[in-house]
């Protein structure tokens, strides 16, 4: 009996199968969780924090699922990055409205988006398959960040935890960022320990973003120079 042929590449069924990959379904769930979280952020801070952090944790789960079930896809990687960037961007915008100076958080937002976008673009220009492929970089911190998953996880988790703590601590829309940090760091508590450790990890991540921005910009410039020389 002849074997029934599978779906042809590019057919509706084959495209649907990629959309329904387990890690991609987890990605859709993250989007829904974030949408509801921000819907209730000003009315229920605890629920918001739980939903937001659970969505963030699912970021690691979808990566594990992709490798476990051999369902790694370009669409999934892009969905993952977009979800990360948008959720963090929304939280930074919220923080810019409840703390002074709000420009601090908007600057972090701009740095985050610009550095990752440039990194993705330069990756494609150089013919690489992943923006995390930085083996040819001469910067040790940049290579450590993308080369060591535990170190990268510490920096990323630190940022999200710090942002969530700051949002939870905000009582009105006239809070001064430095006053809130200084007041809580002086206290001997688990919260002050979390703030201190998160500040270190967050600072490292922002420094890495600056390095990433410069490295990616250099890659784009070198691509242009090489292209002109070949003409």
Catalytic residues: 84
Phi, psi of 175 (to 5 degrees): -70, 140
Across-strand partners of 176?
A: 100
Report the candidate in 202, 171, 173, 174 with the shortest Cα–Cα distance to residue 184. 171
From residue 176, give the alpha-carbon distance in Å to each of 30, 45, 111, 172. Answer: 31, 19, 22, 10
**Rounded Cα distance, 90 and 109, in Å:** 9
DSSP string, 11-79: SHHHHHHHHT-HHHHHHHHHHHHHHHHHHSTTT-HHHHHHHHHHHHHHHHHHHHHHHHTT---HHHHHH
Report the candidate in 38, 52, 87, 37 with the shortest Cα–Cα distance to residue 165. 52
């Amino acid at each position: 009996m002849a074997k029934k042929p599978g779906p042809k590449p590019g057919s509706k069924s084959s495209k649907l199968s990629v959309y329904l990959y387990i890690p991609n379904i987890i990605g859709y769930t993250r989007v829904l969780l974030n949408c509801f979280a921000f819907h209730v952020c000003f009315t229920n801070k605890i629920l918001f924090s739980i939903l937001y952090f659970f969505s963030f944790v699912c970021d690691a789960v979808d990566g594990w699922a992709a490798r476990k079930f051999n369902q790694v896809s370009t669409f999934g990687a892009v969905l993952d990055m977009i979800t990360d960037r948008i959720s963090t961007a929304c939280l930074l915008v919220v923080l810019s409205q409840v703390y002074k100076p709000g420009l601090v958080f908007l600057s972090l937002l701009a740095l985050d988006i610009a550095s990752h976008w440039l990194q993705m673009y330069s990756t494609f220009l150089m013919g690489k398959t992943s923006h995390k492929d930085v083996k040819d970089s001469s910067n040790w911190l940049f290579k450590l960040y993308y080369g060591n998953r535990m170190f990268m996880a510490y920096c990323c988790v630190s940022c999200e935890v710090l942002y969530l703590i700051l949002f939870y601590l905000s009582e009105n829309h006239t809070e001064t960022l430095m006053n809130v940090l200084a007041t809580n760091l002086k206290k001997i508590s688990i919260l002050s320990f979390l703030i201190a450790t998160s500040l270190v990890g967050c600072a490292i991540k922002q420094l890495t973003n600056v390095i990433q921005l410069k490295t990616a910009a250099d890659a784009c410039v070198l691509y242009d120079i090489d292209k002109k020389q070949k003409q």
